[in-house]
């Protein structure tokens, strides 16, 4: 997967020349966008949102604990006025400076003040002096807004990964063919949080291409959830989908983007530094450096990412069925194993009524 993506004002123009069905990418010239987002900081004694890495087999750096969802702390509004490129350049500085106690929320906090204390939703109740980290307090804003696309590259089937690597402009090119507005948009690309960690003696590093976050300025925050869902569906419709079988046997049809992780405005993006639990590990200089793509590009016009038509919806359903079909035998096997384990767990807890997980 391409990770050293070019920082060039000509990227969009090159894309237009290389991708046959995407020409004359629209360029937004708006230079006075006002975009607000949030930096969250976990309170003292509260769980950290950062991943913890240790040393595994063969001296490989591994994730030993995933980031937690802090229940209390403070949030701070960040407000930037400028072009999409300027907004994302400022975001890059913010991300690089984050500590292991901090995380990003793409939506801004409520109006009235720039710094808020946040607590659990239950504790917040009807209070007006605190907020909770919920959609009610971080709704999608009207007007220009920051949004992110989460790409879990390590979960892609090898054949799909090879197709993306061979495609002109790779991920950027795929997005631009499915939704041409991405071809003319500035974007900020950053490897996911476990990237950029190295075992000192051997030099072995975590996989920088395992995942990435792509941040954009959208034309209207109220369109983000709908447009990202439409983008996800159109990626699948154009052949950029695959099936994933959970241990429970459920088959999930996925695309290049993690839809559920990308639509929630209150979602925490774990952009802070990771925690190193072993002195043999070190951070690689610029190992997670955020790279600006298509400098001079504008915002993503979310209104142009259309919902599927009735005909497209029928084709989408058939395509999803086709993705699931070859995985059904594996899914059934996994479900039987899962049900057996679940049954043993329930019996071990003294539960005698097992109707909820069905016959064996």
Least confident span in 142-151, 200-209, 324-333: 200-209
In a domain, 159, yes or no: yes
Higher per-residue pLDDT: 290 or 345 = 290
Q: What is the pLDDT of residues 94-137, one digit of tens each?
A: 999 999 999 999 999 999 999 999 999 999 999 999 999 999 99
**Among candidate residues 211, 166, 169, the one with its CA nearest the CA of residue 190:** 211
3-state secondary structure of 226: helix
The verdict on residue 355 lying in a domain is no
Q: What is the mean pLDDT of residues 172-182?
A: 97
pLDDT band at 347 (very low <50, low <70, confident <90, very high): confident
- The b-or-e profile of 285-308 (16+ CB within 10 A means b, else e) is eeebbbbbbbbbbbbbbbeebeeb
Q: What is the pLDDT of residue 147?
A: 98
Question: Which pLDDT score is estimated for 209?
Answer: 84
| Any domain includes 241 | yes
Residue 46 covered by a domain: yes
Within a domain: 257: yes
CA–CA dist 45, 33 (Å, integer):
38
> Torsions phi, psi of 137, nearest 5?
-100, -10
- Overall domain count for the chain: 1
**How much is the pLDDT for 349?**
83
- Rounded CA gap, 166 and 161, in Å? 9
The per-residue pLDDT for range 49-64, each reduced to its tens digit, is: 999 999 998 889 999 9
Q: 198-236, pLDDT tens digit by residue?
A: 999 889 999 888 899 999 999 999 999 999 999 999 999
Q: Is residue 92 part of a domain?
A: yes
Paired tokens of 236: 């699948």
Tokens 């709704």 appear where? 139
Place of tokens 């907004």: 87
Q: What is the pLDDT of residue 265?
A: 87
**Kind and range of the H or E run holding 131:** strand 131-132
Q: What tokens does 114 get?
A: 């720039």
Answer for the pair 186, 216: CB distance below 8 angstroms, yes or no.
yes
pLDDT given at position 14: 32
In a domain, 154, yes or no: yes
37 with 108: CB under 8 angstroms? yes
Residue 349 lies in a domain: no
Helix (H) or strand (E) holding 276: strand 275-276
pLDDT tops 60 at residue 28? no
**Structural domain boundaries, residue 84:** 11-307
For residue 74, CA distances in Å to 40, 113, 132, 168, 249 come to: 6, 12, 10, 43, 40
């Amino acid at each position: 997967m391409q990770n050293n993506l070019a920082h060039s004002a000509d990227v969009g123009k090159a894309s237009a020349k290389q991708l046959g069905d995407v020409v004359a990418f629209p360029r937004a010239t708006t230079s006075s966008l006002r975009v607000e987002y949030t930096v969250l900081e976990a309170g003292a004694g509260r769980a950290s949102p950062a991943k913890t890495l240790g040393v595994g087999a063969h001296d490989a750096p591994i994730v030993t604990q995933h980031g937690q969802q802090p229940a209390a702390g403070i949030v701070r509004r960040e407000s930037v006025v400028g072009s999409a490129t300027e907004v994302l350049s400022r975001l890059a500085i913010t991300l690089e400076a984050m500590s292991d106690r901090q995380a990003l929320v793409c939506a801004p906090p409520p109006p009235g003040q720039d710094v808020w204390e946040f607590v659990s939703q239950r504790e917040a109740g009807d209070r007006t002096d605190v907020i909770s980290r919920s959609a009610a307090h971080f709704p999608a804003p009207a007007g220009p807004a920051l949004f992110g696309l989460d790409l879990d590259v390590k979960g892609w089937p090898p054949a799909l990964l090879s197709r993306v690597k061979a495609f002109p402009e790779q991920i950027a090119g795929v997005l631009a063919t499915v939704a041409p507005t991405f071809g003319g948009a500035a974007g900020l690309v950053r490897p996911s949080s476990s990237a950029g960690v190295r075992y000192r003696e051997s030099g072995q590093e975590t996989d920088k291409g395992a995942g990435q976050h792509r941040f954009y300025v959208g034309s209207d925050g109220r369109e983000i959830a709908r447009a990202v869902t439409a983008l996800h569906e159109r990626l699948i419709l154009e052949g950029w989908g695959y099936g994933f079988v959970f241990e429970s046997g459920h088959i999930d049809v996925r695309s290049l983007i993690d839809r559920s992780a990308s639509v929630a405005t209150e979602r925490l993006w774990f952009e802070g530094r990771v925690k190193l639990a072993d002195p043999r590990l070190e951070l690689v200089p610029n190992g997670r450096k955020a790279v600006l793509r298509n400098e001079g590009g504008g915002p993503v016009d979310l209104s142009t990412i259309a919902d599927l038509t009735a005909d497209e919806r029928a084709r989408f359903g058939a395509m999803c069925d086709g993705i699931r079909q070859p995985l059904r035998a594996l899914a059934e096997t996994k479900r039987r194993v899962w049900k057996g384990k679940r049954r043993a767990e329930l019996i071990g807890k003294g539960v005698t009524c097992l109707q909820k997980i069905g016959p064996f």
